[in-house]
Amino acid sequence: MSFKRFLALFSTRNKEFFRDRSSLSWNILMPVLIVAGFSFAFSGDIGKQFKVAVLNESMANAQSQKFLKLKHIDFYSVKSTGYEIKNTVAKVQRHQVDMLLDAKSQKYWINTESPSGYLVEKILLSSADNNFDKQTVTGKQIRYIDWVIPGILSMNMMFSALFGVGFVIVRYRKNGMLKRLKATPITAFEYLSAQIASRIILIMVVTAFVFYGTHLFVDFVMNGSHFNLFLVFALGALSMISLGLVIAARITSEETAGGMLNLFSWPMMFFSGVWFSLEGAAPVMQSIAEIFPLTHVTTAARAIMIDGAGLIDISYHLIILSLQSAAFLLFGAWFFKWD
Amino acid sequence: MLATDILQVKNLVKHYPNVKAVNGIDLNLKKGVCFGLLGPNGAGKTTTVEILEGINHASSGEILYKGQPLDEQFRNEAGIMFQSTALQDYITVRETLDMFARFYPKNLDVDNLILRCNLTEYLDQDNRQLSGGQRQRLLLAIALVNDPDIIFLDEPTTGLDPQARRNFWDLINDIKAEGKTIVLTTHYMDEAYSLCDEIAIMDHGKIIAEGTPKTLLSENFNDAVLQLPEKELNKIDLSNLTTHIKDEYIEITTCDVNGVVSMLIENSISLSHLQIRPRTLDDLFLELTGKELRT
């Protein structure tokens, strides 16, 4: 590995990206426009359904069953594990769930600062004869825009990683640039590592720009450490760039590359919890989502930004992303062909 | 391998499914020669050159550069100019040269190279904005940036206008004067004749003729070509001569130029448009590879 050759490729690729104004603008503008659009769309009062999380639904007593039979309330079941209870209580604190009800013990949690929680409590108490055991929590409301921003940042990163590396490599292979580089002392490892390093830095710069730029007009929550978030995005970028390398390792047609990259990016965009929570989704879908790097980036970023999670809390996602990065990188480098 | 040999090729074979692209080639290239590899489309010359450049792998055979198999030393000391190479968008001529220079342990002075390849005016120009001739000169400069001992030029003047071609020939002659070894493929026989010390003509994956241009011509031809307008020659019987119609002219190929000219005078044919030319590499090429169209 020659650092001189690596730097030559790295700096040229950076110049190429930053001078391509239309691509750069689009990379920055797209997420800002999406956030602005969502911010506008969700700024007013929207008629919504009450949402109640239910513990021990199958063991519901008669009093609870009366409440659970009511229409126009979105009941969903949660497992009665310590982690799930803690997680759901946190959602009540953030106004994402209006009430958590233990259908067996008749204990319920509401947020005293939530108007919806207040109304759901009134409905619960008027529908049942016996008193329920009230637990109160407090917490600032987490708006949809707060919830969706980590996903949008992650999604933008995914497109930049997959298309920015995968598509570019295929284009260079098709137009003979890679063949020309093959005729020099450059090794595949030097070339690929320069592409990866360049793209990670570009992604981090663009993501930081979008993050702080968006923060100027949307006051979204950021309860965790900026360094932790940086780490998650850097690891996520590495993982998805490496996936791009695997896809682009041998393809010689830009059309095929575009199709393949879309084949990977679109399912990730919809089934990685960027736009909607996967809780309550079919178990098969949740299992599939676990395979996607975007799921782990989004979940970890969301945990940091909304819950203020530390590295230990998101270690599962960091480990998965690290393993995926290593696997994709090794396979991509081994499978890579210059022409 | 002699001390003067720089590249030695032994029984080179490259088979693709259903095609023998290269079918047993032997070559010995001496230091400082300009070697031309000629052949019709599909003859196997691009495959051969790509194998020599280390871009493609042979099915069998051996290639030795300075007595060693193609290795890192070869990649450091070889300069390569493909027929068509895309350059990175949004990068200037200067930056492109600097990037390639940093790939090699040994470099020519980039400023000097820029002067030599007439690139001074375009230094800050984006690669996308270069004309055909400017682009070819940049690709040549890239091929020279590592001060190579051996340079591969694959159809370097294809698509250039006559001035740009002549300009390019001057550059190649300068490189030759420095004692560099050049491997040139071209479709232009005048280019091969003008630049190459030795040529090899390939067809169907094999070398069918090899030597200096003059030797090959003298070995294959002892005749000349007389050319007259077709309308002038309609009056006489040429059935006992070898003739060929080209455009509106008739070409008579003969070993006895004096005899044919005397016959024309006896038949009162005007010689005011008569042209006599020696045989060329074009003739040799067509003679050896046939005249049917290759695709």
pLDDT in tens, A199-241: 999 999 989 988 988 888 788 889 899 999 999 999 999 999 9
Residue at which a domain ends, from B199, B218, B237? B218
Whether residues B253 and B205 share a domain: the answer is: no
Q: Render the burial of B4-17: b for 16+ CB within 10 Å, e for the rest.
A: ebbbbbeebbbeee
Q: Which residue has the higher pLDDT, A215 or B59?
A: B59
Q: Assign domain A50-137 one CATH number from 2.60.40, 1.10.8, 3.40.190, 2.60.120.
A: 3.40.190
The C-alpha atoms of residue B107 and residue B146 are separated, in whole angstroms, by 4
Q: Which residue has the higher pLDDT, B223 or B27?
A: B27
What is the extent of the structural domain holding B229? Answer: 222-278
Q: Which of A4, A11, A180 sits opposite B85 (nearest CB)?
A: A180
What is the arithmetic mean of pLDDT over B29-55? 91
Contact A8 B102 (CB under 8 A): yes
pLDDT at A293 exceeding the cut of 90: yes
Q: Which residues of A touch B91 (CB under 8 A)?
A: 12, 15-16
Residue at which a domain ends, from B187, B218, B249? B218
The C-alpha atoms of residue B188 and residue B190 are separated, in whole angstroms, by 5
Q: Which of A16, A182, A186 sits opposite B89 (nearest CB)?
A: A16
Whether residues B262 and B161 share a domain: the answer is: no
Sign of CA dihedral A244, A245, A247, A252: positive
Q: What is the domain count for chain B? A: 2
Residue B285 inside a domain? The answer is: no
Whether residues B227 and B129 share a domain: the answer is: no
Lowest average pLDDT, out of A121-135, A240-254, B49-63, B131-145, goes to A121-135
pLDDT level of residue B158 (50, 70, 90 thresholds): confident
Does the pTM of the predicted model rise above 0.90? no
A19-50 per-position pLDDT tens digit: 888 877 877 777 777 777 776 766 655 556 78
Contact A185 B86 (CB under 8 A): no
pLDDT at B87 exceeding the cut of 70: yes
Mutate which: B52, B103, B152, vs A, most A CBs within 10 A = B103
Residue at which a domain ends, from B218, B252, B267? B218
Whether residues B246 and B178 share a domain: the answer is: no
What is the arithmetic mean of pLDDT over A292-317? 93
Residue B100 inside a domain? The answer is: yes
Q: Which residue has the higher pLDDT, B167 or A228?
A: A228
Chain A residue at shortest CA distance from B56: A339
pLDDT level of residue B294 (50, 70, 90 thresholds): low
What is the arithmetic mean of pLDDT over A88-101? 87
Whether residues B227 and B211 share a domain: the answer is: no
B229 and A CB contact within 8 Å: no
The C-alpha atoms of residue A319 and residue A210 are separated, in whole angstroms, by 26
| Dihedral Cα A171, A325, A296, A157, nearest 10 deg | -30
The C-alpha atoms of residue B113 and residue B147 are separated, in whole angstroms, by 10
CATH number at residue B143: 3.40.50.300
Q: Which residues of B touch A1 (CB under 8 A)?
A: none
A54-85 per-position pLDDT tens digit: 988 888 887 788 888 888 888 888 888 888 88
Whether residues B20 and B86 share a domain: the answer is: yes
Share of chain B above pLDDT 90, in %: 38
Q: Which of B76, B95, B105 sits opposite A15 (nearest CB)?
A: B95
A337 and B CB contact within 8 Å: no
ipTM: 0.82
Whether residues B132 and B235 share a domain: the answer is: no
Whether residues B226 and B212 share a domain: the answer is: no
From the CA of A246, how many Å to the nearest CA of chain B? 22
- Is residue B55 within 8 Å of residue A179, measured between CB atoms? yes
Q: Which of A5, A19, A182 sits opposite B90 (nearest CB)?
A: A19
DSSP A186-205: --HHHHHHHHHHHHHHHHHH
Residue B140 inside a domain? The answer is: yes
pLDDT value for B293:
53
Surface of B (77-106) touching A: CB under 8 A: 78, 80, 82, 84-91, 95, 98-100, 102-105
- Domain borders along chain A are 3-40+144-335, 50-137
- Is residue A304 within 8 Å of residue A224, measured between CB atoms? yes
Q: Which residues of A touch B94 (CB under 8 A)?
A: none
Tokens standing for residue A233: 């995005």
